[in-house]
Structure 1
Amino acid sequence: MSETCGHHHADGPPGAADVALAMQAADLRLTAEGERMTPARLRVFELLLAAGEPVKAYDLIARFGGDGQPAKPPTVYRALEFLERKGLAHRIASISAYVACTSGSIDHAAAFLICDCCGATAEVSAPVAGDLGRAAEAAGYVIARTTIEAHGRCPACQ
């Protein structure tokens, strides 16, 4: 990604009300599934939601404590693993970052459009039922999770 992006981007992080609603919906869903949203999981999810963009794990560790104290890395990594497993977050491997899921669906294939200029990302529906799904089926393979990453330039950076 470029260090400077000389133009304005219209979208920003979500508001506090949107973050609170998403956290409440996730907590209700997990409770219905017999899972717990522990304080650490809740805090990491809140940080991902509030960022509105991919966040590196070490940035989450640094922001974790409300009093400026960083979290212990295992605390954050365990929370991220749980959030990923429950479909509330995704890891974007090519930029080593995590992002809150915007799909609302537990089991879905995630695809990300990543701008190499400004770093903006957009989660879109992945075409897993197409060629990849048929290839997996032919091989007798059952796909559990799919994340597709596409790099390019967003409309504002073109």
Structure 2
Amino acid sequence: MNTRSDNNRKHADHDHAACIADALADAESYCRHRGLRLTPTRRRVLEIVWRGHDPVKAYDILDELNRAGRRATPPTVYRALDFLMDASLIHRIDSLNAFVGCPLAGGEHTAQLLVCSRCETVKEIDDPAIRGILDQGASRYGFLLEPQTVEVRGVCSRCRGHSE
């Protein structure tokens, strides 16, 4: 199981500026190697998504772009978000109607997102065993699963009063 404990961390030992820089560099490299255009607007949207490690809503992104003088419209933001999701650089969290950066950016994978019901913290894991169980269950009914994001709600250790 690949867990990314650095995803969504808010600890003193976390160099968040380096985290954002790494995510942007990975995205630029991924897009360049696949002939995808990471335009300045798409890059800025990705940067906003990564900035806090917390889920961010599309209209919050729009507000941030407009505060920076970009004169963005909702379709501009949603097109950028669609591009970033299609490129597997971010995930949409349906239950929160928000977006988070993907620490396993690029390439198809079935993301499993752990969403805290209390504080809305999100952690991503990529466990092939979980995908295998889903594939087995689906195959019993003749389904072939497509890459997708699976959301699992629960309560994080911080909200339960335990350290991570």
Please report the TM-score for the alignment, with normalisation by the length of structure 1: 0.83
Q: Is the Cα contact below 8 Å between 1:87 and 1:105 reproduced in 2? A: yes
Aligned length: 148
Q: Return closer, same or farther for 1:89/1:70 CA change in 2, 3 Å cut-off.
A: same
Q: Give the structure 1 partner of residue 111 of structure 2.
A: 110
| Cα pair distance change 1:52/1:124, threshold 3 Å | same
Distance of aligned partners of 1:53 and 1:24 in 2 relative to their CA distance in 1, 3 Å threshold? same
Structure-2 separation of matches of 1:117 and 1:14: 26
Counterpart of 1:7 in structure 2 is none
Would you say the 8 A contact 2:30–2:106 is kept in 1?
A: no
Q: Is 1:157 aligned to residue 159 of structure 2?
A: yes
CA contact (8 A) 2:113 2:152 kept: yes
Query: Is 1:63–2:67 an aligned residue pair?
Result: no
* Cα offsets for 1:73-114 (capped at 9, x unmatched): 011100111111111010110111111111235111111111
Give the whole-Å Cα distance in 2 for the aligned partners of 1:119 and 1:70: 29
Shift in CA distance, 63/14, structure 1 to aligned 2, threshold 3 Å: farther
Following TM superposition, where does structure 1 have runs of at least 4 consecutive aligned residues deviating by more than 3 angstroms? 135-142
Residues 154 and 24 from structure 1, CA distance in 2 versus in 1: closer, same or farther, beyond 3 angstroms? same
RMSD: 2.1
Percent identity over the alignment is 36
Q: 1:38-57, aligned counterparts within 5 Å?
A: 38-57=39-58
The residue aligned with 1:6 is: none
The 3 A distance-change label for structure 1 pair 35 and 14 is: same
Number of the residue aligned with 1:135? 137
Q: Distance in 2 between matches of 1:89 and 1:51?
A: 13
TM-score normalised according to structure 2 size: 0.80
Match in the other structure for 1:148: 150
Q: Is the 8 A contact 1:116 1:153 kept in 2?
A: yes
Structure 1 residues 1-21: Cα deviation after superposition (integer angstroms, max 9, x where no partner) = xxxxxxxxx726862222122
Q: Is the 8 A contact 1:118 1:157 kept in 2?
A: yes
Cα deviation, residue 144, structure 1: 2.5
Unmatched tracts of structure 2, length 5 or more = 1-8
Note if contact 2:111-2:148 (Cα within 8 Å) is conserved in structure 1. yes
